[in-house]
Amino acid sequence: MSREILEHDYSYYVLNEPTVADVEYDAMMKRLRELEAERPDLITPDSPTQRVSGQVAEGFEEYHHKVPMLSLDNSYSIEDLRAWAKRCEKLAGGRAFDYVVELKIDGLSLALIYEEGRLARAVTRGDGSRGEVVTNNAKTIRSIPLRIKGRDGKKQSPLFDDSMKEVEVRGEAYLPTDAFRRINREREEAELPSFANPRNAASGAMRQLDPRIVAERRLNIFCYQLLFDGAPAFPTQHESLEWLAKHGFRVNQNNRYCKTIEDAVAFCNEWETRRDELSYEIDGVVVKINQVAVQEELGATSKSLRWAIAYKFPARQVSTQLLDVIYQVGRTGAVTPVAVLEPVLLAGTTVSRASLHNADEMKRLGVMRGDFVFIEKSGEIIPQVVKVITERRTGEETEFEFPTHCPVCGAKLVKPESEAVTRCPNPDCPAKLREGLLHFASRRAMRIEGLGVALVEQLTSPRTKRDKKGEVVTDEKGQPSQSPPLVRDAADLYGLAERRDELIALDRMGAKSADNLLQQIEASKDAGLARLVYALGIRHVGERTAGILSNHFGSIEKLSAASSEELANIFEIGDVVAASVHEWFKSSLNRKLVKRLAEAGVKMEMVSAGGQQVPRVFEGKTFVLTGTLPTMKRDEAKLYIESRGGRVSGSVSKKTDFVVAGAEAGSKLDKAQELGVKIIDEAGLLNLSRS
């Protein structure tokens, strides 16, 4: 009976071809539950009754993806798409290839991992390297097979190659537009805030700890990638899609094999006009090179695949009224005008604010208070004002004047001739401090959990003095006396342990929350050099650039002493970044900050377990990891290699220098042997680093 119900699920949720009436299906499910209640020993993990667990999870387990779930670069014009194709042709060195194009579903990426043919775990994309295990939640999506199936005509039977230890299927979970409207209608009736768009609703659902709540959302999925034991399953993407569809997975049928890039362009143009025909949101088209051999040759950057690209549809526009403009001050002092709008729905999102970029853009647009304006989403992400509808002016509109002084600290603003951005130059500006601390504590920087906006506001604001009885202390004029803020820069965070009582006294804090925060701050001392460099908030230094600088210099001391010329000569570091880094370390205030962080115990060097500076013996070498190593986890081995100047790739090619193979190594080992790439084990890796 379990097998029969699974077949009905496949027909209904994947093929959209019901084979039994709802009343009959419900009766079968009822009978199965009764049988399993009588014989609990017969319950299997892939039983239809196990789709929605009655247990509420305590949290999500972290999972390290064996193959990184990398993002895609975006193109916003047909010219960009053609230019990408030419780059691929050049990188492929004349090797012939064609394309597969697929609709870009606006949802949440999931990896479905099957062991011995049964769903073992489902994992979110996370940061690409690590995701969260959400298996019980994924089981509520009825189009996700609980076991891999084969299909031959009308007959379905299990088909699984026992030699394959693991099958991984990647896809995009999404919320259909009808379900999105239903959920928002129900939330409005319950006087709950509406979801802004289907993507957010889907993402929020997958992070619910109670699978029953997830089941109510009625998510669906389209699958698009197939891996056997961590390697591409077939020579082409087209064959993988065929296998997925044949074996019970829901594949979007609006994909197309394209012989040339012009065929792919035609597909993009077609769906740009047909997107409203669909029952789900798409924001573009994904163009992939079909041949896996070429994919592996092209490889990937640290963030994205080189052999695939997303063509994003031109932004949609809507009109609304501009009510006011507010001015926000960022961590670098940049003053950004933000339009306050009459809320309006744009591309599935309710928009009430939009960027005006800078004073020059405001002047170019000629915006006035009360204007009706067109807004659009740049790259379907950031709302921005693009045009004033002057025909709708009534004469009651009023002009805006860009501030001459900082709206937060009152310092006179400056605008360098070479820049479009107006900045607050005051190093003690509270807004710069708040934004800088939030960046310092962010997940990709020092990762201090619990240090959010509200708490940072309290930590950086003066406090009313109170005596031992808790009464307000006043000055000679009878006004409340003020104590200085607890935190004036990032280094002050590491002194909060000595001011625990004052921390506990903050609103909504308490002893437990304070201790948790202090533990996070203490742990952040070991975040690593790359995270620290990123956390410092140097202009133009993003996460990747921070990693490049850290790997090159190995310590803050050497980085701070580098000249602009030395910095500019580093691969991927240009003149602008070099000048910015050099200027940052020239500042006496910044040098003092770094010194205080070091005195607080924040690690300033890339060090080995023994405390010695790591030698960069792997400089210029590319490694591939496969199998299970005796003592190192995959991410530990990756860090070991990268901290010594090496690069870790996800696939084997002629450019690979070493394959580090452990127990149960997969197809990457075979590929290395085929190409003659040197193969070493964990001991060989350790010996290599000592040579």
> Is residue 380 within 8 Å of residue 323, measured between CB atoms?
no
Q: What span, in angstroms and rounded, lies between the C-alpha atoms of 340 and 34?
A: 58
CA dist., res. 143 & res. 170, Å (int): 13
How open is the CA angle 537-541-544, to the nearest 5 degrees?
120
- Exposed e or buried b for every residue in 151-187, given b needs 16+ CB within 10 A? beeeebeeebeeebebbbbbbbbbbbeebbeebbeee
Extract the runs of DSSP E, i.e. beta strands, from 136-181. 150-152, 155-157, 166-174
Catalytic residue among 104, 432, 638, 668: 104
Q: What separation in angstroms does the CA of 84 have from each of 90, 117, 379?
A: 10, 38, 17
Residue labelled with tokens 């499910």: 29
For 279, list phi and psi in degrees, rounded to 5.
Answer: -95, 15
Q: Which residue spans within 188-332 are E strands per DSSP?
A: 220-228, 231-232, 256-258, 282-289, 304-312, 317-329
Taking the C-alpha atoms of residue 680 and residue 687, their distance in angstroms, rounded to an integer, is 10
Strand order in the sheet with 108-115: 118-124, 108-115, 166-174, 220-228, 231-232
Q: How far is CA 523 from CA 126, 527, 543, in A?
A: 21, 7, 20
Told to judge if 90 belongs to the known catalytic residues of this protein, a careful annotator would answer no
Q: How many CA atoms lie within 13 A of 532 on its CB side?
A: 26
Backbone dihedral angles phi then psi of residue 443, each to the nearest 5 degrees: -60, -40
Angle of CA points 522, 524, 526, to nearest 5°? 100
Q: Which residues are catalytic?
A: 104
